[in-house]
Amino acid sequence: MKTESKSAQSSASYNIDRSQVTLPKLSFTQMAQDQLNLMLENDFTLQGKYLRILISGKGCEGFKYSIGFHDLNDDDFLVPVKEMDIEVAIDPFTAFYLGETHIDYQFNYINDEEGFVVVNKQQDEFQGKFWRKDKSKIPPKVQ
């Protein structure tokens, strides 16, 4: 699982109009819920931290996401997770693009990989230079 660094950009640098951002709908698989609960119950360093989903990059196939624990930023949205009694911190830039998102936790013993997997169901809409074709897919800026 990746954790986010303090140098992660906040949406304040983008001047996103928060009032025009629709909060994403998040769902967690049972495996993701179990792993998250296990972490929260057994790692005292996570007390007071929030699970955060972040757009960490973009490639030809769309956005790349990171998920980890971090402090709350002033401009974050807190998105409730209906399956669990938690709120996920999401900056306005990431929230603008997440839409309906599914979080799983996977073990891949063959490749020695383990961690949360973020699947944005609208990912196909963000391939290539999508913003050139559809200006409505650019986050609204504060006037």
Give the pLDDT of residue 71: 96
What CA–CA distance (Å, rounded) separates 88 from 79? 5
What is the three-class DSSP state of 48?
A: coil
Give me the average pLDDT of each 10-residue run along the chain (143 residues): 42 75 95 94 94 93 93 95 91 94 90 89 85 82 82
Assessment of whether the complete model's pTM goes beyond 0.75: yes
Taking CA atoms, 37 is separated from 8, 26, 27, 40, 91, in Å, by 25, 16, 15, 5, 23
Quickly tell me which residue has 């790349």 as its tokens: 64
Give the pLDDT of residue 47: 92
Give the pLDDT of residue 28: 95
